[in-house]
């Protein structure tokens, strides 16, 4: 893939963020998500790729656009897999909470795991702890391994995890090991990425979240040199069959980072919708708006922070009298 595509992918996430940001704190997560989807899809129609959505808004009968299998882009080359989450953290936007993002990951065709919308058990770390984690090891063992890699005491390691009843035992084990815990209400893509970025204060991600979000997070971690292991958690025969239809013969397989994202030629782009640990949210400034984005490329290791100003209207909203 050409490096010039990086800015094209940022335009996609910027558009979705600008659209969704209007709904911050308004309590309508469905409207916010739909606005993000509509805006993202319209910009894809201007990008010169031959893309197939492999992680999207659902299967064809569940989503009118950005569904799994949908073709996006207006080019014949390059042929790519596309993973999207137009609004990562719908509840976060609806409630005006931090860390809502719009995200896109793109890799050559066949390089992103085709994951259905089911649960996935995950563990993720940054570059310094790469190769040290094991999904099947105990929480205490993983915390000690990360502490050793980071030259810290376990009591100084911070684990991030979704605040869900299903994680009660993991949270108990983290606390028993003496580590610090950061509980989040939603948005484990940004949480996984935070483990690989400096100055976030986060060292390791534990827990069960969405499988599509797991693949998107894996693309970002591949760009950042981080590490991740995962395992799909299908609930019942129907979900097992969905996994197999998407090409994974063993639904219980331990997935390494290279199983989730093959190769290094992957792009990841994200734009903040609400303020967060990684990105600032959208600022509406009258006739303009400001966005803060991150775009990364795995093959080069390049990480770009982009602040952009967007013209919303060329007509003045207020006209002073007697001017």
Q: Are residues 302 and 245 in the same domain?
A: no
In a domain, 321, yes or no: no
Give the total number of structural domains in the chain: 2
pLDDT of residue 323: 45
Q: How far apart are CA 229 and CA 256, in angstroms?
A: 5
pLDDT of residue 307: 97
144-173 pLDDT, tens digit per residue, is: 999 999 999 999 999 999 999 999 999 999
Residues with Cβ within 8 Å of 20's Cβ and at least 6 positions away in sequence, in order, are 32, 33, 35, 36, 39, 86, 87, 93, 100, 102, 273
The stretch 90-119 carries a mean pLDDT of 95
Among residues 314, 299, 302, the alpha carbon closest in space to that of 10 is found at 302
The stretch 248-270 carries a mean pLDDT of 95
Mean pLDDT of the chain: 93
Domain region containing 33:
5-111+267-311
201-243 pLDDT, tens digit per residue, is: 999 999 999 999 999 999 999 999 999 999 999 999 999 998 9
pLDDT of residue 110: 95
Q: How far apart are CA 135 and CA 217, in angstroms?
A: 16
| Statement: residue 174 has pLDDT above 50 | yes
| Statement: residue 317 has pLDDT above 60 | no
In a domain, 316, yes or no: no
In a domain, 88, yes or no: yes
């Amino acid at each position: 893939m050409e490096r010039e595509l990086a800015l094209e992918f940022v335009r996609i996430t910027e558009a979705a963020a600008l659209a969704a940001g209007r709904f911050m704190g308004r309590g309508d997560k469905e409207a916010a998500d739909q606005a993000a989807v509509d805006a993202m899809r319209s910009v894809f129609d201007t990008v010169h790729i031959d893309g197939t959505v492999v992680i999207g808004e659902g299967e064809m009968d569940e989503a009118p656009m950005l569904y799994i299998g949908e073709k996006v882009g207006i080019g014949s080359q390059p042929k790519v897999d596309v993973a999207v989450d137009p609004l990562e953290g719908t509840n976060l936007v609806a409630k005006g909470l931090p860390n809502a993002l719009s995200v896109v990951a793109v890799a050559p065709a066949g390089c992103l795991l085709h994951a259905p919308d089911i649960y996935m058990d995950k563990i993720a770390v940054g570059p310094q702890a790469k190769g040290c984690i094991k999904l099947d090891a105990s929480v205490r063992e993983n915390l000690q391994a990360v502490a050793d890699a980071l030259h810290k005491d376990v009591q100084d390691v911070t684990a991030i995890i979704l605040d869900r009843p299903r994680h009660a035992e993991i949270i108990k084990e983290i606390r028993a090991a003496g580590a610090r815990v950061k509980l989040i209400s939603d948005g484990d893509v940004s949480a996984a990425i935070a483990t690989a970025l400096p100055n976030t204060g986060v060292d390791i991600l534990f827990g069960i979240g969405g499988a599509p979000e797991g693949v998107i997070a894996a693309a970002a971690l591949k760009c950042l040199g981080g590490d991740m292991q995962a395992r799909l958690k299908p609930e019942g025969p129907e979900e097992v069959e969905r996994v197999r239809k998407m090409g994974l013969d063993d639904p219980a397989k331990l997935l390494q980072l290279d199983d989730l994202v093959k190769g290094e030629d992957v792009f990841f782009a994200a734009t903040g919708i609400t303020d967060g640990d990684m990105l600032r949210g959208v600022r509406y400034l009258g006739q303009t708006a400001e966005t803060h984005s991150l775009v990364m490329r795995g093959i080069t290791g390049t990480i770009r922070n982009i602040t952009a100003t967007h013209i919303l209207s060329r007509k003045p909203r207020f006209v002073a009298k007697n001017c």
